Structures are given as C-alpha cells and as structure tokens.
Structure 1
C-alpha cells in the first residue's frame, strides 16, 4: 500500500476540492452515493448467499433472505468487503467533474462533453493518485466504464484512451461497475431497470449485452423502484 484509504469525511473533501460548482457537486456526489448504496446492498446479498452456501439446495438462492430487497444472484467464491465497495462507490465517478461542457459556472445548465466523457474514469484515477489515495481505491474510478472496457475495444472503437484494459480486477470493483449501471447522471437524473440497461448495452453489440446479463445473473437485481421513490427520481 503506497497511499491512504480515505475516510468518509475525506471522500467528501475530495469531491468538494475538484467540483467546479455546487450544482456539479450535487449531481456527481449524489450519483456516487446512490451507486455506493446499491453496491453495498449487493454485497450484503452476496455475503448472505456465501454464508448459507453449505445449506443451499440447487436453485435455493431464492430461499436466502434478501437484505435491502436484492433478489437473485449466485453464491460468490468468497465474502466481499462492504467497506471497500462503499469507498469505491463514493469515489468511482469523481473524474466526471473534469468532463463537463457546462459545469455550472457559466450560467448554462449542467452538460457533459460527449467527446471527453469516456476519459472520466482515467481522469478520476489520476486525480485520486495525485491526492495520495491508494491505488486499490483509485482503481474504482479507472475500472468501472460500461460492463468492462478492454484494450481490444479501446483500439477497435478508436477511443481517446491509452490502449489498455480498464476492467475490474476484483469482485468489489466489479460490484461497483455493475451498480453504476442502475443510475444515470442525465438531466434530470434517473434510475434504470435491467431491461433499460439491456437495451443500452445492446447498442454496443450483442457481446456487450451478454456480459451485462451475466452480471445480472451473478449479482442479482436491486430494488430499483424503491430507490427511485426514495430519491424522488424517475425510472425507466
């Protein structure tokens, strides 16, 4: 470990330091809170499945109680670190402050730059490292785009990123990447159900949609209607 693991207070300070405006902070930080919340719900479900793994009959996952309403999912190979998912979820999108076209300082409504947006993961990673945050945490920003952005896709799509793999390297990072897909920082922000993101994933090819549906089967489905009601946001 070469850096520090930020506390919740330090995470908020990292957001406020880089946020160009209160409006930008409210949008990005709220999204990160939502993703962290979903991620922790999924971890609790996964850990409940793991704890009961020796007593589950075939197909018995549905018999395990579902903390926070997450349903389905497969027994994981180990217990997951909920605190790590919380920290990673709260910081995963911190690079999006760097890719606004209108960032709340020019009197225009918030709007992201379509061309630069793909860079937000890498920019977040670089920012966290520059602030002394440990690599293991900074990777949550780097490795959450889509359902796994690999070197081949970067080259094939001509993306403005250094050719490399930007994919989760552990289960905790994969949970945050998955949880991220259920909420969008659109104007206004919205929640996405499984079918809505399936349609979005399919726009990048059937292989992309297949990977998404594999994640759904692996980690289960959070209670998106309940979250949309809690945050008073629309849902598709």
Structure 2
C-alpha cells in the first residue's frame, strides 16, 4: 500500500475538492452514493450465498443497523450515506470467496469521480450540466490519475479506472479507436466487478434515472451482442437488485 484508504468524510471532501460547482457535486456525488448502495446490496447477497452455499430466500432481512457502515457527519448540503431499508437482491450464484463490503462501499463512492473532468458545461457558466460526448470515455482513467495525485491508494483508484461498460479490453480500445492508451480497463477483483455491475443500474442523464436489467441489456447490445451476453452473465452471477424500490426512494424514474 502506497497511499491512503479514505474515510467517508475524506471521500466527501474529495468530491467537493474536484467539483466545479454545487450542481456538479449534487449530480455526480448522488450517483456515486446510489451506486455504492446498490453495490453493497449485491456484495451482501454474494456473501450470504457464499456463507450458506444455497439459495437465499428473496425475503431475507437486510443488514442490521448495528452492522451497517458508519454514516458521515451531518451536513445540510451533503447526501448522507445510508443503507436502504427496503429492497433486496433476487437470484445470484455463489461467489468464489467472500467480498469486502467496506471496500465495495468506498469504491462505489469514488468510482465516477473522473466525470467532473469531462463536463462540457460544468454549472459555472449558467448553462445546464452537460457532459462532453467525445471526452466522456476518458473519465475512468482521469479519475484514476486524479485519485493517485491526491494520495489515494492504488487499490481504491482502480475502481475509477476499471468500471466502464462491462469491462473495456485492450482489443476493444484498439478496434473502436477509442481515445485511450491501449490497455485493459477491466475489474481486477470481485469488489471492482461488483461496483461495475451496480453502476449500470443508474444513469447521470438529465434528469438522472434508474435502469432495469432489460434497459441496460438493450444499451449494451448497441456495442455488440458480446457486450449484452457479458452483462446478462454478470446479472446471473450477482442477481437482480430491487431497482424499482431505489427509484421510488430517490424520486427518480426507471426505464
């Protein structure tokens, strides 16, 4: 370990340090909180399946408050970390090992921090927030490099680098002539893969929205049938979170 593992308060400070405006912080930080919550649900389901070595009932209780991650200090302008009291995950297969839920939570909260750097209208120019379509593919690498510059450990920075799509390979970078150094931008452990999967269930569109499994399947298919097959295999492994309950909790639409 060459860097530090940020606390929840430090994660919030990192978001505020890089955010060009309050509007950008609200959009991107909220997305990261949502993804972290979904990722923790997926990780919890995987761990329950691993421990029981059998199918977990769909009505299994959520993590007890005593076992939930500690919440950050209150702030009227920040979005507190909370473990969703509703919902759950259906399906899923036994993983090869237990997942580190705390690492999943931290990675989820920081995975999209590079998107602050690919805003075309960042909230400071009086225009609505808008991402640069041409530069957006760079957000994972930019977030990774920025986190390392801030002294964050490589193991955490990799969550930013390795979450795009369903795993962006070197061959895909070259074949699609993407503006990235030829390399594999894919999860290197189960925790990173969990965050990558959770990220597909929410979009920072205007306005933000939640995506069902079918909605992301259709989106993935636009980049080739192999992408949609990879996505459905991931859903088969990690299960289906209750996205409708999350959409209701955040008062956002689901497609």
TM-score bracket, normalised by the shorter chain, equals over 0.9
RMSD: 1.1
Within 5 Å, give how 1:50-69 maps onto structure 2. Answer: 50-53=50-53, 56=54, 60-62=55-57, 65=60, 67=62, 68-69=87-88
Alpha-carbon separation, structure 1, partners of 2:124 and 2:218: 34
1:222 aligns with 2:222: no
CA contact (8 A) 2:36 2:109 kept: yes
Aligned equivalent of 2:80: none
- Unaligned 5+ segments in structure 1 are none
Please state if 1:124 is matched with 2:143.
Answer: yes
Structure with more of its chain in helix, by fraction: 1
1:1-236 to 2 correspondence within 5 Å? 1-53=1-53, 56=54, 60-62=55-57, 65=60, 67=62, 68-236=87-255
Q: Is the 8 A contact 2:50 2:97 kept in 1?
A: yes
Structure 2: which 5+ runs fail to align? 63-86
Contact 1:198-1:213 at 8 Å conserved across structures: yes
| Distance apart, 1:64 and its partner CA | 8.1
After the TM superposition, which of the residue ranges 196-205 and 61-70 deviates more from structure 2?
61-70
CA distance in 2, matches of 1:209, 1:66: 31
* Deviations, residues 97-147 of structure 1 (Å, cap 9, x unaligned): 000000000000000000000000000000000000000000000000000
Contact 1:61–1:74 (CA under 8 A) maintained in structure 2: no
1:69: Cα distance to partner?
1.3
Shift of 1:86: 0.3
Secondary structure of 1:47's match? helix
Counterparts of 2:4 and 2:18 in 1: how far apart (Å)? 18
Relative to the length of structure 2, the TM-score reads 0.89
Please list the CA deviations of residues 69-112 of structure 1 after superposition, one character each: whole Å capped at 9, or x if unmatched.
Answer: 10000001111000000000000000000000000000000000
- Normalised TM-score (structure 1): 0.96
Secondary structure in 2 matching 1:208: helix
